[in-house]
Structure 1
């Protein structure tokens, strides 16, 4: 028996590497099965994102400075609320995808020459600001509050 095979056999099962380690009890989000409730929540958030995108497109052009701010705050509220409701970052991605689909479809001009978005500062600020808000809300980490004893040393 060679030195290498003796070392491998004497090491035992505890040193086989990361493949033999058991996964954590919760596992990753990709390893969890999708249930009907979670899929319904994502679909509902997608539809709400599309509705907020359409409403924001109408409001931002109607009342320029205040409407733009209202549209972006509404989108931020939906994206952050989705994160809180679902409990993960995918809660911001689903409404952001709906928002983006609605806004992109509204920016396309029709064969008659009609369009909803004009080529102005407000339209670009709504489009780019909404995407920036979506990225910020999707990358925010959910930090749970510590459940242990008080962190002060004197107690």
Structure 2
């Protein structure tokens, strides 16, 4: 694996973490529209990562960053503070984000052959 590819995946991981934190804040602040905006932002990061990297692993890197950030935000602190409440919006964001990550990772477009339209071997 080349250093450039590792840097791209690391950048996508950080992007996914930022999208996860931003989505966690937006989905709770503006409930119906914020939830939709957070899920569309996550889908954009996951699918965009797959397209930018040219491989399905490009969708997995931001999804992993998103998952790590969201799981860290769901944990309560010793003071009793937490970011996610026990409401429909929080569960929809958690489950919807995971579903979007799986969809983008499985439907991500892999590298296509770059040849002429003619059949190979002619």
1:66 maps to which residue?
33
Q: Equivalent residue of 2:72, what SS? A: helix
Count of residue pairs the alignment pairs up:
116
2:99 maps to which residue?
132
- CA–CA separation in structure 2 for the residues paired with 1:82 and 1:95: 7
Q: Which has the larger helix fraction?
A: 2
- CA–CA separation in structure 2 for the residues paired with 1:130 and 1:54: 12
Q: How does 1:66-105 map to 2 (within 5 A)?
A: 66-105=33-72
2:74–2:82: 8 Å Cα contact kept in structure 1? yes
1:48 maps to which residue?
15
More relative contact order, 1 or 2 (CA 8 Å, 6+ apart): 2
Structure 1: 4+ residue segments shifted above 4 A: none
Q: TM-score, normalised on structure 1?
A: 0.72
2:59–2:108: 8 Å Cα contact kept in structure 1? no
Give RMSD over aligned pairs.
1.4
- CA–CA separation in structure 2 for the residues paired with 1:147 and 1:123: 49
- CA–CA separation in structure 2 for the residues paired with 1:112 and 1:100: 23
Structure number with larger C-alpha Rg: 1
Q: TM-score, normalised on structure 2?
A: 0.91
